């Protein structure tokens, strides 16, 4: 399958996640809700790793890769903790668009850190997404 099928599946799953998380966080501390979600993701991810036999590559994991994966995990943790707190405090229809501003931040960071180019179409699309997310604040 091409990469965009996985990206689209990710977007659909993320949309469902927002709704499911909003319902699940009701009446719970947001940090506890995040911990439960994280435990499920952890078990799910390791089950897939073992089911596909990818665990055999663990011994080849380099220090640099491990460092950046750990830093990425810290970023994910901060993101999820903040996301669940926001969901606890506001409607999912307002939290999710702001959360998706990560796309615009990713485009800028990819240009700075990875040297990726930003075409006028990507820049215009990101700008429209930012404007759309900001419009939801007034909703």
Round to whole Å and give the CA distance between 139 and 134.
9
pLDDT of residue 15: 86
pLDDT of residue 139: 64
Comparing CA positions, the residue from 31, 137, 35 lying closest to residue 91 is 137
Comparing CA positions, the residue from 79, 65, 84 lying closest to residue 21 is 84
Q: What is the mean pLDDT of each run of 10 residues along the chain (139 residues)?
A: 88 88 92 94 96 94 93 93 92 89 93 96 94 84
Structure tokens at 30: 């947001």
Round to whole Å and give the CA distance between 58 and 38.
21
Give the start-to-end residue ranges of the domains of the chain: 3-90, 100-139
The region that residue 27 occupies, defined by phi over 0 for left and psi between -120 and 50 for alpha, beta otherwise, is left
How many Cα atoms are found within 13 Å in the side-chain-facing hemisphere of 13? 7
pLDDT of residue 1: 86
């Amino acid at each position: 399958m091409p990469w965009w099928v996985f990206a689209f599946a990710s977007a659909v799953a993320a949309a469902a996640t927002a709704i499911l998380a909003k319902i699940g966080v009701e009446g719970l501390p947001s940090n506890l809700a995040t911990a439960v979600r994280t435990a499920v993701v952890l078990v799910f991810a390791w089950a897939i790793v073992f089911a596909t036999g990818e665990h055999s590559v663990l011994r080849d994991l380099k220090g640099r890769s491990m460092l950046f994966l750990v830093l990425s995990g810290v970023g994910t943790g901060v993101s999820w903790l903040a996301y669940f707190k926001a969901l606890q405090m506001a409607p999912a229809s307002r939290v999710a668009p702001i959360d998706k501003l990560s796309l615009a931040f990713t485009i800028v960071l990819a240009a700075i850190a990875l040297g990726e180019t930003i075409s006028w179409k990507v820049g215009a699309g990101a700008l429209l997404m930012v404007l759309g997310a900001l419009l939801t604040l007034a909703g």
